[in-house]
Structure 1
Amino acid sequence: MTHTEQLGVSTAPTDGSSAGRWTGSPQPSSAEEWLARAREVSDILIVDAVDRDRANLTPHAEVRLLKDSGLVTLLGPVAHGGGGQSWEIAYQVIRVVARGDGSIGQLLGYHYLWAWAARLVATDEQIAAVEELYTRNNFLFGGAVNPRDSDLSVREDGEELVFSGHKSFSTGGEVADLTVLEGVLEGTETHIFAIVPTSQPGIVFGGDWDNLGQRLTESGSVEIRQVRVPWSDAAGFVGKVFQPLVYNTLNVPAIQLVFTNFYLGITQGALETAAEYTRSSTRAWPYGGDNKERATDEWYLLEGYGQLQSKLWADEAIADRAGAEISRVLHEPREDLTPRRRGEIAVLIAAAKLRAIEDGLETTSKIYEFTGARASANAVGLDIFWRNLRTHSLHDPAAYKKREVGQYVLLNEVPEPSWYT
C-alpha cells in the first residue's frame, strides 16, 4: 500500500443539527446555489454560536455540518464529487459562514488553503492523488505550519523523511482528517511540505487553545514526534530536488485574503445581530429634547448604522475585487505567474485586510452605542464578534501591511514573498 493510500483514514460521524438535512438533495451546481448552501449553514451556526463559544468544546458537530453541506469539497474536482468552484466563490463562502460563526469560517478558510497546498507546490501526480483523496472522502485539512515557531526538523532515513518538533498553533487540530507539515531538512535550508493523516501516534495535540476569541478553531499546540513520510510524498520534489515556481508563493496572499473574508463575515454578523437587537429591544432616549417613540426613529441610530453599513459594503467591494484577481491567477497555468503580478495582488489584499480589520473593530465596538446598556449583558452575547475579530487580527502586525501599500504607492515597489507577505 502506498503512503497516499494510507492517508485514506476515515473518521466516525458526529451528531449535529445537520443530520439528514441535505439527504436526498442534489449537490449545488452553480455559484449562486453554493452561496445559498453557505447561508443555510450560517443560519444554523448563528443560533447557538454564543453558547458553543462558552462551552469551548472540540467542534466535531460543526465540522460534520460543513461536511454534510458539501462545503468542504467546494474546490474539489467535479470528477471526484467536488463542487469544482473557483476561489472567487470560496472566499465569499468563507465570509457567509463566518457571519454565523467566526471560528467555523476560519476552519473552513484554512481548510481551503491547505487543500489547495498541493496545487501550490506539488507535482502534477501528487496534485491528482491529493485532490482525489480529500474530495472522495470529504476530508478536512489542518496545518502545523506556524512560521513564528522554529521549523520542524526533517531528517532523511533511506527513502523516508522523519518530521519532529513543536508548533504553538495548529488550526484544525483534532477535527482535521489530514494535516499539512512543513519543516527543514537537516543540514540544509530546504523546506519540505507533506500531507499526513492526523490520527496517528506521532501527532499529539496539546488541547491548550483557550483564547479570547475564535475559540472553536482547534488552534492549540501540537507535538510532531517522528512522523514518517515517503520521499515520494515530499510536495513538489522530483528526484529529491524541489521545482520552484513564482506560483509556489501564492500561499501567503491566498490565506491573507481568507483572513480578510472571515473578518468581514464576523463584522456582518455583528451588524445584523445588533440591528435586530435595536429593532426589538433598544429604547428611544427620552431626555434629548427631540424625543422619539421608537429607537428606530432616533436620528443618531439611523446615522450610525448607515455609517457602519456603508463601510462594510465598501470593504466587501475591495475584498471581492481582490478575490477575483487572485482567483484568476490561482486557476491559470502555474507557469504563467510573474513576480510583479504576484506582488500587485499581494498589495491589493493587504489593503483589503487593513480595511476589514479597522472597520471591523470599529463596528464590533460601536454597536454597543447603538444597542444600549442592556445589550452589554452576557446573555445577549454581542461581545463574541469583537473577541473573535480582535483575536485573529493580531495574527501579524497590520502596520506592515500599511507599509507594503505605502511602498507600492510612493515607490512603485511590490513586496518580496515571505511567510507573511
Structure 2
Amino acid sequence: MTNVDIASERTALQNRWAEVARPETAEEWLARAEEVSDILAVDALERDRANVAPHAEVQLLKDAGLVTVLGPKAHGGAELPWHVVNKIVRIIARGDGSIGQLLGYHYVWAWAVRLVGTEAQIEAVEEQYTSGNLFFGGAVNPRDADLRITEDGDELVFNGSKTFSTGGRVADLTVLEGVLEGTETHVFAIVSTDQPGIVFPGNWDNLGQRLTESGGVEIRDVRVDWAGAAGFVDRVFQPLVYNTLNVPALQAVFNNFYLGIAEGALRTAASYTREHTRAWPYGGKGKKRGTEEFYVLEGYGELASKLWADAALIDAVDLEISEILHDARENLTERRRGEIAVRVAAAKLRIIEDGLEAATKVFELTGARATSNSVGLDIYWRNLRTHSLHDPIAYKKHEIGRFELLNEIPEPSWYA
C-alpha cells in the first residue's frame, strides 16, 4: 500500500461517523475508540518519522466524538466515568502512543475546571469546550519558572515561557498557570490558543512521543479577566483538598497510555512472529516456524502475564480514582487523597518496569530481521522510554515504601 493509498483510506475512515449515531453506552464508546486506534495504527510509524504537527489526528479524535466524552450530555458530551475514559486513552495508545498521550492530557485539562474552578466556571467551560468540540493543551510544566502574572485593572496579564507544553499547536484551548506578582498565589486560567501572545517555536524533536506537540511556548502579555481566574471569588482563592487531585489524575492517565504502548508492542511483535520469525536451525529437529520455539513461547507467556497483571492493577486503581473524581468535591480528605496517590504510583512503577521490558524483549522474540526500520518495533520503546522519564520512578518507590513501612501519605506536590 502506497502513502497515497494510506492517506486515502484514512480520509474515508475518519469520515465514517458523519452519518452514524453517536455511541450511547460505555461499551460502544470503547468500540469507537478501537476503530480510531486501528486507523491510527496504519501509518503511525510513518507519521512519527515525519514529525508533523498532528492536526489531522486531533481532527480524527473530534470526528469520532472522543474529545467530549467527559463533557455534559446537555451540551453534546457523553458524561463517561473516568475509569472508562482512561480505557479509551489506553486503546488509542495501542495504535499511536503520541495520540494517546495527547488525548489523555486533553481529558485532564478538560477536567481542570472541576478540580479548581467555581460552579459558575465549571458550567461555562464545560459548555464551551463540549459544544464547540474543542481540544485542550497546557502550559503548566512545573520544572520551569512560573509564569509571571501582573494585574491591570480587572485583568490578569501572563508572561513567561515553558520548555514543555503538551498539546501546543494542535490545541484550541490552553491552560495557563502562574504566580501573581508580589505574592505566592498561583492562578490557573483557560485561554484561546490562537492569539498573538501564545507563540510555539515548534522545537519538539525528541526520541519518542514525537507527535505530542510537547515543545516550548512563549507567553507574551496574555490577558485574562479576573473572573476567569479558576477558583477565585472576589479575587480570593477557595481551597479544597480536591484541588490537588490534578497530579494523581494525570499520573493515572500516564499509566494507561504506558500500558497501551506496551500492549501495542506485544501485539505488533506477536503478529510479526506469527508471520516471519524463523525457528533456530540448531535448536532441534522438526521445528519449522518461530512459533514452535520453546523460548519464543516462554517469552510471550512471561510478557503477556506481566501486562495482564499490570492491567488488573491499573483497572482497580482507575475505579478508585474515578469514584473520587466523580464524588462531591467537599468529601475528599487529605488521607484519602494520599492513599490514592500511592496506589497510582504503585501502578505506575509496575507498568514502567514491565512495559520497558516488553518493549525491549520483543526484539529477542522476533529475531534479527525485526530490527529493520521498515518493521518499526523501536517506536514502542522510544515512546515509553521518553515519557516515563517525566519524573523519577525512584521517588514513586520511596512514596510507596513510606506508606507501607510508616503509614505516611505523600505531601501533595506537582509530582505526587
TM-score, normalised on structure 1?
0.96
1:279, CA displacement in angstroms? 0.2
* Paired amino acid for 1:225: R
Structure 1 runs of 4+ aligned residues shifted over 6 Å read: none
What does residue range 46-61 of structure 1 map to in structure 2 within 5 Å?
Answer: 46-61=41-56
Determine the structure 2 residue equivalent to 1:373.
368
Give 5+ residue unaligned stretches, structure 1: 1-14
Verify the 8 A CA contact 1:18 1:64 in the aligned structure 2. Answer: no
What does residue range 278-293 of structure 1 map to in structure 2 within 5 Å?
Answer: 278-293=273-288
* Paired amino acid for 1:279: R
Verify the 8 A CA contact 1:18 1:65 in the aligned structure 2. Answer: no
1:290, CA displacement in angstroms? 4.9
381-390 vs 291-300, greater mean Cα deviation: 291-300
Q: Distance in 2 between matches of 1:27 and 1:244?
A: 37
2:341 is the alignment partner of 1:346:
yes
Q: Distance in 2 between matches of 1:137 and 1:417?
A: 33
74, 88, 98: which one aligns with 2:93? 98
Q: Distance in 2 between matches of 1:321 and 1:16?
A: 37
1:294, CA displacement in angstroms? 1.6
1:65, CA displacement in angstroms? 0.6
135, 145, 151: which one aligns with 2:146? 151
Q: Distance in 1 between matches of 2:169 and 2:104?
A: 17
Q: Distance in 2 between matches of 1:403 and 1:386?
A: 25
Determine the structure 1 residue equivalent to 2:227.
232
* Alignment root-mean-square deviation, CA: 0.8
Q: Distance in 1 between matches of 2:288 and 2:412?
A: 57
Q: Distance in 1 between matches of 2:171 and 2:65?
A: 16
Determine the structure 2 residue equivalent to 1:384.
379
Give a deviation string over 1:103-147, Cα, whole Å, max 9, x none: 000000000000000000000000000000000000000000000
* Paired amino acid for 1:214: Q
2:356 is the alignment partner of 1:361:
yes
Determine the structure 1 residue equivalent to 2:4.
none
1:291, CA displacement in angstroms? 4.6
Q: Distance in 1 between matches of 2:109 and 2:81?
A: 15
Give a deviation string over 1:1-56, Cα, whole Å, max 9, x none: xxxxxxxxxxxxxx945442101111111110010000000000111100000000
289-298 vs 67-76, greater mean Cα deviation: 289-298
Verify the 8 A CA contact 2:345 2:400 in the aligned structure 1. Answer: yes
SS of equivalent residue, structure 1 residue 32 = helix
SS of equivalent residue, structure 2 residue 190 = strand
2:110 is the alignment partner of 1:115:
yes
1:297, CA displacement in angstroms? 1.0
SS of equivalent residue, structure 2 residue 221 = strand
2:405 is the alignment partner of 1:410:
yes
SS of equivalent residue, structure 1 residue 188 = coil
Verify the 8 A CA contact 2:14 2:64 in the aligned structure 1. Answer: no
Judged with a 3 Å threshold, the aligned counterparts in structure 2 of structure 1 residues 100 and 17 are, in CA distance, closer, same or farther, namely farther
Judged with a 3 Å threshold, the aligned counterparts in structure 2 of structure 1 residues 300 and 290 are, in CA distance, closer, same or farther, namely farther
Give a deviation string over 1:294-319, Cα, whole Å, max 9, x none: 21111111111000000000001110
Determine the structure 1 residue equivalent to 2:20.
25
Verify the 8 A CA contact 1:285 1:291 in the aligned structure 2. Answer: no
Q: Distance in 1 between matches of 2:146 and 2:13?
A: 39
SS of equivalent residue, structure 1 residue 116 = helix
207, 213, 222: which one aligns with 1:218? 213
* Paired amino acid for 1:321: A
319, 322, 326: which one aligns with 2:314? 319
Instruction: Tell me the matched-pair count.
Output: 407
SS of equivalent residue, structure 1 residue 357 = helix
Give 5+ residue unaligned stretches, structure 2: 1-9
Judged with a 3 Å threshold, the aligned counterparts in structure 2 of structure 1 residues 322 and 227 are, in CA distance, closer, same or farther, namely same
Verify the 8 A CA contact 2:166 2:213 in the aligned structure 1. Answer: yes
2:170 is the alignment partner of 1:175:
yes
Q: Identity over the aligned pairs, expressed in percent?
A: 71
Verify the 8 A CA contact 2:148 2:178 in the aligned structure 1. Answer: yes
2:64 is the alignment partner of 1:65:
no
What does residue range 125-274 of structure 1 map to in structure 2 within 5 Å?
Answer: 125-274=120-269
Verify the 8 A CA contact 1:142 1:179 in the aligned structure 2. Answer: yes
317, 336, 352: which one aligns with 2:331? 336
1:289, CA displacement in angstroms? 2.7
Judged with a 3 Å threshold, the aligned counterparts in structure 2 of structure 1 residues 37 and 145 are, in CA distance, closer, same or farther, namely same
* Paired amino acid for 1:287: Y
Q: Distance in 2 between matches of 1:167 and 1:16?
A: 34
2:306 is the alignment partner of 1:304:
no
Determine the structure 2 residue equivalent to 1:10.
none
Verify the 8 A CA contact 1:141 1:178 in the aligned structure 2. Answer: yes
Q: Distance in 2 between matches of 1:375 and 1:19?
A: 30
Give a deviation string over 1:253-306, Cα, whole Å, max 9, x none: 000011110000000000000000000000011112355122111111111100
1:353, CA displacement in angstroms? 0.3
